[in-house]
Homo-oligomer: A and B are copies of this chain.
């Protein structure tokens, strides 16, 4: 028995996490981050004891460019939710490298005002390496917090890349934050962010240019969203998160969206989230198989052929694909093993 397996009393850990014990929650989320082999068992245990479908946890995603005030806004939202007695779990997702992951979380310190509040659980999730890892680990971490019964889970992601947007888009309600004077306002809302946002916030609204930013944003939302009858029209709200100004209106908008999001709409969003999670597990397994192909036609050898001009990339891909399929058939079991996404790519 390997030492990690001996040290883990999974049933006890899951039970304590479901009771909301912060250390057990943190431990489970570490297993998620590390793509630990025990995850399979953890997720099965959480499912077996899960709340009924459409359960109580509302998942809110926040995304926006660096420096826009996401952490301050998250902190203000925590205060507002706590004031009405709701419990809050926060996942601060950082699509960064192994190096910068640990070192650059200083801005999270702003959230430490909630550190002694038992109704709040805050966790930074820095991925290590392959981005597919976050597509897998974020919904898994949400699953852990939902099992612990938090009323709300906030997923805060840094950046406005396709990937960060995908992660934020896994929420029930996605909040996109912008601020005036962050370079070109139009550039800041590129990259699919208009389609994914349910609620838009122009933070630092006491600064010059806030109204122009909000106006541009409303115009572009009008172009991007074709409003259907009964559809949701994403509001654009000014806030000054550092003073709490506008936060009440933001909370009200989140409530309105959550009320709008019922029945099929809710099932659709949550289905997409689960679908992304399942697909991430499958793709991670397939990617791991690609990585394990040695001493056969390994990726590096094929790449060298392509670089040398002796083979075209499609022929190389065919060979690799065949080897991946063969490896799967030989393995026989055909089960998803350790996700292993952190160590790939």
Contact = CB atoms under 8 A, between A and B. Distances in A.
Interface of A: 39-40, 43-44, 46-48, 50-53, 55, 65-68, 94-97, 99-100, 103-104, 106-107, 127, 131, 139-140, 143, 158-164, 166, 182-184, 186-192, 194-195, 223-224, 267, 270-279, 281-283, 285-287, 290, 299-300, 302-304, 306-309, 311-318, 320-322, 324-325, 328-329, 334-336, 345
Contacts of A190: 66, 94, 96, 100, 104, 158-159
Contacts of A273: 303, 307
A186 B302 contact: no
Nearest to A285: B321
Given A183-B68, A272-B303, A314 B290 contact: no
Contacts of A188: 66-67
Total identical chains: 2
A239 to B, nearest CB: 17
Contact of A329 (B158, B186, B278, B329): B329
A79 B328 CA distance: 52
Given A271-B300, A278-B320, A281-B313, 12 more contacts: A66-B160, A68-B183, A96-B162, A99-B192, A161-B164, A182-B183, A273-B303, A277-B306, A278-B299, A278-B303, A286-B321, A321-B334
A313 B147 CA distance: 14
Contact of A304 (B267, B281, B320): B267
A336 B318 contact: yes
A307 B65 contact: no
A320 B300 CA distance: 28
Nearest to A140: B313
Contacts of A140: 313
Contact of A336 (B95, B314, B335): B314
Given A281-B314, A299-B279, A318-B335, A158 B183 contact: no
Q: Which are the 9 A-B pairs with shortest beta-carbon distances?
A: A161-B161, A67-B183, A97-B192, A66-B187, A281-B317, A275-B303, A47-B312, A274-B303, A274-B306
